[in-house]
Each structure stands twice: as structure tokens, then as C-alpha cells.
Chain A
């Protein structure tokens, strides 16, 4: 217990130090102390800090002013806290997994109503729910009614489909729309195909050969 606490005490400032180093020179200096304290707060609360760092880097890259970057990071922190609260209400035992906080944050940002998010969480009591959440959100992005979208994905889960295969389910429904079906028809069709929805094509050998790794970020 003592060792764990000791590590926690050390990990906080260390995490902050590496966050600062990533922000220096990329984000207006005036904003860094405030963003730093927001990152520290997230870390102390057991929330993921990477979304906050990314938001700050994004603001710096988009040449946004310091106050607006700070405001955006504050909004992001609020979203993380919201997501954590939702997870706990949906039955996850605290402390919630940072990865799941990120997943629920995505879902809410992508416009899924809270009750729909809670339904998907309940259907998958054990993490990870990222693919399921994105699959429902993908359907919603194609103007499927969110509750019906959740129905389809939960049905797929019930038929043993998991993780990235759930994205194949939403892709199949979107495909039916492209073929001219109505939303209701598309849902019914794909539901009928479960669990045998077509898998998305793997990248071709040519694509793999062409693929490059982006250069690693230079150490600060």
C-alpha cells in the first residue's frame, strides 16, 4: 500500500513534467501554467491526461490564442468528468478505467444521448466498449435513430460479435443506405444477416507496401 502511494505521489509531478515538455514551444507560453494545472487535476482524479494535452497541442497548431486554448482544455476536462460520472452511474466501479473515460467522452462528443450511452455500457459490462460506442455513433452520424442504432449493435453483441466486428455492422447498415434502402429497411436487413455481416476488406498488399510511419516526434 505504502509503495503504491509513494508511486502515486511521484507519478503526479513526473506526468506533469513530461506534459509540460510536450507543450513547450508548441503552445503559447502564457497558457502553459494553467493548462499544466488542469492536467494535474485530471491526473489526481484518475482521469486520462492525453486528451487534454492533445487539445492544447491542437490549439497551438491551429494558432489559437492562449485564452481560447485554456478554455478548450477546460471544456475537455469537463467532458472527461462528465464521462466518468456517467460510467459510475451506469455501474462501473470507481476508480473507472481511463480508457473507458475516453470511450464515453468520444460517444458524448459524437452526439450520442446519455441514455443511449448508458444502454451500450450496460450491454457490455466488461470493457472495452470503444468499438461498440463508435459503431453506434457511426450509425447516428448516418441519421439512424440513436436508440435503434443501439438496438442493432446490442443485438450484434448478443450474437457474439465483438470489438472491431461491431464496426462492420454499422458499415453494413450504411452500405444499405447507399444502395437506396430506407433507414428502417437497412436496420432490418443487417439485423437479419447477423452474425454474418460482411467483414470490411483488409488493406491490400499494395497499401501495406506503400504505408509509411509518421516520423517520431523529436524529443523536446
Chain B
């Protein structure tokens, strides 16, 4: 590798005006500037936004959680243990299944009710309900497709009343809830759905 005239470096570092250079040196500067410009062409690619947002919405499981999941899931394991240890193992498994990880349903207050959100979005990676019940925060109410059949659901406790909302699919597509049968203009060129939450007690 040959060292080049230091003035080329100076020109490229902005310490020397290229116009002051002789023909050959100026050509070298231009070659490198052109090469950089060519490399600066943007890479044609789809936006990474939805891919990234789906990944960050998945909670990173804590080590304890992961360990627990392994423990509770069925495993085909044969191992020789001393009888006393196998009893201890059985006791721990029994304990874990007696106290399911999923918490029981909430106490519903007098002026609260339940809203059930359902939508068909086959192929979706995530679906959220976003509206005036959660200050239009896109992440806070996630629907789930438990059966992997493309039907996403969420059941939410909310104060009784009427709310506007939309579904956000894959973090970027805003769609009204077609099943809701109540639509209203959002003043932004689209339509929101309306859900009316009735008090559960009455």
C-alpha cells in the first residue's frame, strides 16, 4: 500500500481547498469523494419500524420466569434420583400447579364494566386497542390470538361510558373496528369506532 500525498488527506479533511491542488491530486480527491457519494446511496429496504416495535413489545422474560416456565412445562425426563429428592421435586411441582401463575379476575367496581374487543387479522404480528379509554396510548391494550386462528381478542375492565377507539395492527396500521357497528369521524380524515361500556353490576 503506497502512502499518498498528504495534501489529498488534507483536502479530504477539509483543511485544504481542493481547487488549490494540481490536476492529478485533485483527481484522486474526486475519485474518493465520488466513491463516498456512491456508498452513501440509501439501501432500498422496507422500514424496520414494525419489526422492531413488535420485538420491543414482547416482554423480555426475566430469568426467574424463564426458569419457572421450564419447570412447569411437561418434559420427557428420566433421571435417577434418590427417593427423598424425587419427593421434593414432586412437592415443588405440585405447589406450582396449585398456585397458577395467571392471576384471578379483577374486582369490578360499581361504575365499571367490561369491554370485549375482537377482530379478525390473519397474519398480524400484533393488534392493539387504542382510544379515549387509554389516552390513545398505542401500547397499553394488546389483543391476543391465543388459538393462532387469526382472531384477536382482549377483555378489559373500564369505567362505564362511551369511548372512541381504533385497532392498531402491527404497530402501524390504524383500522376501525368493523364489528362495532358504530362509527364516527375522527376529524383527521378517518373514522373511529365507538364502544359503550355498560356497568357490570346493574
Contacts and interface: CB of A to CB of B under 8 A. Distances in A.
Contact of A213 (B138, B157, B183): B157
B147 interface: no
Contacts of B114: 203, 207-208, 211
Interface string A158-180: 00000110010000001000000
Interface string A193-214: 0000000101100011111111
Contacts of B141: 214
Given A210-B155, A217-B140, 15 more contacts: A58-B164, A134-B196, A138-B182, A141-B181, A141-B182, A142-B181, A164-B202, A174-B181, A203-B155, A203-B200, A207-B155, A208-B105, A211-B155, A212-B106, A214-B140
A40 B82 CA distance: 75
A130 interface: yes
Interface residues of B, number: 41
Contact of A106 (B104, B162, B181): B162
B89 interface: no
Contacts of B162: 106, 130, 134
Interface stretch (A5-13, A61-69, A116-124): A61-69
B196 A167 contact: yes
A72 interface: yes
Interface of A: 22, 26, 54-55, 57-62, 64, 68, 71-72, 75-76, 106, 109-110, 130, 134, 137-138, 141-142, 163-164, 167, 174, 200, 202-203, 207-215, 217
Interface of B: 104-106, 108, 113-114, 116, 130, 132-138, 140-141, 154-158, 161-162, 164, 174, 181-188, 190, 194, 196, 198-200, 202
Contact of A64 (B104, B134, B155, B188): B188
B137 A217 contact: yes
Given A207-B114, A207-B116, A208-B108, A110 B182 contact: yes
B184 to A, nearest CB: 5
B198 A54 contact: no
Contacts of A142: 181
Contact of B105 (A22, A211, A215): A211
A217 B200 CA distance: 23
Contacts of A167: 196, 198
Given A57-B135, A203-B200, A208-B114, A72 B187 contact: yes
A211 B157 contact: yes
Given A72-B188, A209-B105, A217-B137, A62 B174 contact: yes
Closest 5 A/B residue pairs (Cβ): A209-B105, A72-B187, A61-B136, A211-B155, A57-B136
B106 A213 contact: yes
Given A200-B198, A209-B105, A217 B135 contact: yes
Nearest to A130: B162
B116 to A, nearest CB: 6
A60 B156 CA distance: 24
A173 to B, nearest CB: 13
